[in-house]
Amino acid sequence: MKKYLFIALAALGFAACTEKGEDNAPIQNAELEESYIAINLMAADVDSRAVTDDIGNADEYGYELGTEAERKINSAYFFFFDENGNPFNVNGAPATAPGGNKNHMALTISEATTSAMPNVSDIKEAVLVLKTYKGVYPSKIVAVLNWTPADRAYSLAELHDELANLGNDSDGYVMSNSVYMDGAGKVVDAVPLTAANIKTSEEEAIAAPVEIYVERIAAKVVVAGNSIYDTQKDTIPIVAVGDTSNIDVYVKLLGWELYNDYSTTNLLKNIDPTWNVTTLGLTWNDIPYYRCYWADSQDGNPNDKFSWSYTDDVFPTAYGFKVADSANYAEDTYTYCGENTTVDYRTKVILKGQLVKADSDAEGGYSTLELARWYGTEYAGNEALRIAVANSLKYTLYSSADGKSFASITQDDIECVAGATVGAQAYEVGFQLSTAGQSKTWYQYSSANGYQPLGAIDSDANKTATNSYLKSVEPALLYANGMTYYTVDIEHLGTAAAKYGVVRNHVYQIDIQSIKGYGSPVFSGDIGFLKPEFPTEDEASYVAARINVLSWKVVKQGVDIVQ
């Protein structure tokens, strides 16, 4: 059964447009008249297929109700346009008067006019009262909820281009007209107004309301570990990780975060009517339910707009994991993001983890396992790695205090540094002289030339030349303090161009089903890379996941992680 959202608005006057809708110039000496339009605000998918159970689980078609905060309406604005999408003046004053160019009307929400219901709130028995020049009426209407426009007119195109914040629990989540393509291949981004909708009395208007379908501009991401999450041990075992001196390696999942997530979204969805099933791999348009399942996300340089940032912690916010099937997810198990269907800057889920080993003497039965990998061999942490590197250099790199007695380099003479400082990958580590090593004078040995100083003795040139020599050492992978991360691409509903992406009013439910491999190493908190990287020598590692999208349209994804 359809669920209506009635909108009550105070009477506001309209300034007339010309008959052709070319501008907002008033018709001189024309007669004013009052007309009435009743509005039913409805969420897309509120018909019979958007049925959920009492606790909000998604129905068989993959739709679920939003939370009470996601449905709440704190404010409503209605925008009016002529047939060409130009602003239609609605404040009853000449366009040249103060405020005379506005084409939107506001509704103040109060407890007396609202009550909770599925998907959206119910604003009862409401009618828009139009005061226009006789016979001159707007041709289109757009509703925007929980967003405040500037004190100016907006064309329909400008509403498409306008970037809006997604909203929050206290201010409400921004919603706007559902955009889709009609049977004639035309984009429907505003609801048409006809003579049948514009009445001479409030009672007549209520009997013939205009239906406006709205959808949230935000997408929602939920990450679960239902398939493998061990609630008793708080760990997920890693299988097939190689020889680590007969030590079984586990990863403790600490949380997750989004990467490449927009913090804003276009106020109205942008679609291309030339899309087809072949190119997208998706039946993207859904006329009976006034919505579509793909979009063009905002233009511009994504790196200027994405909300992800690295601080002293790799994960500024670490969300938890949903461990139940209810749509009423526990606090901090989900987050919101803007529409993103870019190819090169896809929104991803980053899982934060820590490698551990079984330890009966440690709290919780597990202790941190710091691992390193170099030339395909695994080592038990930072010191073991430096020992291996020093041993590889012991016959070529020597220190001497007098140029007569020489000592091979040791692990104490070198330190691990972030890969970027030595020209390696961001996820790798390189090697440079430690504080102890910098206090010594270094020589390179060869059978042909014997011991030759690296740079001038007793000067910074010797240290610089030695560090330059160490830069040539093959970089390694080092999971400092056991820290690691796994990357999950968020799948959409398609099999071609629409296989990956994040679209408004969808819930992406990602269930981590298995993890194999150590993941991508983290050497220090402030690693400063611009995008998640995968160790090239660890190609057998991946994450297996299953993603689901929702009215919220739900997209589910199961993921097996091998990284």
Give the DSSP per-residue string, 427-444. Answer: TSEEEEE-HHHHTS-EEE
Model confidence pLDDT, tens digit, residues 67-121? 778 888 888 888 989 899 999 876 655 554 444 568 888 765 554 444 333 445 4
Kindly provide the residue ranges of all beta strands, DSSP E only, lying in 103-218, ordered along the sequence: 104-108, 114-116, 121-123, 127-133, 140-145, 163-165, 167-168, 172-173, 175-177, 180-181, 187-188, 191-192, 210-216
Please list, in sequence order, all residues whose beta carbon lies within 8 angstroms of the beta carbon of residue 531, skipping any fewer than 6 positions away. Answer: 259, 260
Highest mean pLDDT among 155-164, 223-232, 453-462: 155-164
Q: What is the mean pLDDT of the chain?
A: 77
Q: Give the range among 259-273, 327-341, 366-380, 409-423 with minimum mean pLDDT.
A: 327-341
CATH number at residue 517: 2.60.40
311 vs 188: which has the higher pLDDT: 188
- Over range 165-192, report the average pLDDT: 94
Residues 337 and 408 in one domain: no
The backbone torsions φ and ψ at residue 543, rounded to the nearest 5 degrees and listed phi first, read -110, 130
**71 domain residue, yes or no:** yes
pLDDT at 44: 61
Tell me the C-alpha distance between 338 and 504, whole Å: 7
- As a whole number of Å, the end-to-end CA separation of the chain is 47
317 vs 9: which has the higher pLDDT: 317
Residues 140 and 187 in one domain: yes
**268 domain residue, yes or no:** no
Please list, in sequence order, all residues whose beta carbon lies within 8 angstroms of the beta carbon of residue 286, skipping any fewer than 6 positions away. Answer: 180, 292, 293
Residues 188 and 50 in one domain: yes
Tell me the C-alpha distance between 528 and 156, whole Å: 41
pLDDT at 304: 62
Tell me the C-alpha distance between 266 and 299, whole Å: 10
Kindly provide the residue ranges of all beta strands, DSSP E only, lying in 13-55, ordered along the sequence: 32-43
Residues 94 and 176 in one domain: yes
Residues 125 and 241 in one domain: no
Tell me the C-alpha distance between 103 and 132, whole Å: 13
Highest mean pLDDT among 73-82, 334-343, 546-555: 334-343
Could you tell me where the DSSP H helices lie in 282-381? none
- Over range 373-381, report the average pLDDT: 89
Q: Would you place residue 198 in the very low, low, confident or very high pLDDT band (cuts 50, 70, 90)?
A: confident
**287 domain residue, yes or no:** no
Total-model pTM = 0.81
- Over range 378-384, report the average pLDDT: 91
Tell me the C-alpha distance between 337 and 261, whole Å: 6
Of 216, 244, 271, the one marking the end of a domain is: 216
Residues 180 and 97 in one domain: yes
Highest mean pLDDT among 84-98, 116-130, 220-234, 540-554: 220-234
H/E stretch holding 352:
strand 348-358
**269 domain residue, yes or no:** no
pLDDT at 269: 97
Tell me the C-alpha distance between 290 and 46, whole Å: 10
Model confidence pLDDT, tens digit, residues 301-338? 666 666 544 444 455 567 877 666 555 566 678 899 99
Whether the Cβ atoms of residue 175 and residue 217 lie closer than 8 Å to each other: yes
Residues 306 and 196 in one domain: no
**272 domain residue, yes or no:** no
**467 domain residue, yes or no:** yes
Residues 77 and 177 in one domain: yes
Residues 520 and 400 in one domain: no
pLDDT above 80 (res 341):
yes
- Over range 348-358, report the average pLDDT: 85
Q: How many domains does the chain have?
A: 3
pLDDT at 563: 63
Q: Would you place residue 413 in the very low, low, confident or very high pLDDT band (cuts 50, 70, 90)?
A: very high
**276 domain residue, yes or no:** no
pLDDT above 70 (res 279):
yes
pLDDT at 462: 95
pLDDT above 50 (res 416):
yes
DSSP state of 549: E
Residues of the domain holding 99: 5-216
- Over range 237-266, report the average pLDDT: 75
Tell me the C-alpha distance between 491 and 547, whole Å: 6
Tell me the C-alpha distance between 23 and 94, whole Å: 11
Among 67, 4, 88, which residue's Cα sits nearest to residue 222? 67
**285 domain residue, yes or no:** no
Residue 287 token pair = 């006329």
- Over range 452-465, report the average pLDDT: 91
pLDDT at 312: 40
Whether the Cβ atoms of residue 204 and residue 301 lie closer than 8 Å to each other: no
Residues 211 and 253 in one domain: no
Model confidence pLDDT, tens digit, residues 14-42? 233 333 334 444 444 456 667 777 777 77
pLDDT above 50 (res 50):
no
- Over range 495-510, report the average pLDDT: 93
pLDDT at 311: 40
246 vs 61: which has the higher pLDDT: 246
pLDDT at 356: 87
pLDDT at 57: 46
Q: Give the range among 57-61, 140-144, 200-204, 213-217 with minimum mean pLDDT.
A: 57-61
> SS3 sequence, 276-308?
CHHHHCCCCEEHHHCEECCCECCCCCHHHCECC
Of 473, 489, 512, the one marking the end of a domain is: 473
Of 450, 473, 496, the one marking the end of a domain is: 473
Residues 79 and 207 in one domain: yes
pLDDT at 452: 95
Residues 224 and 212 in one domain: no
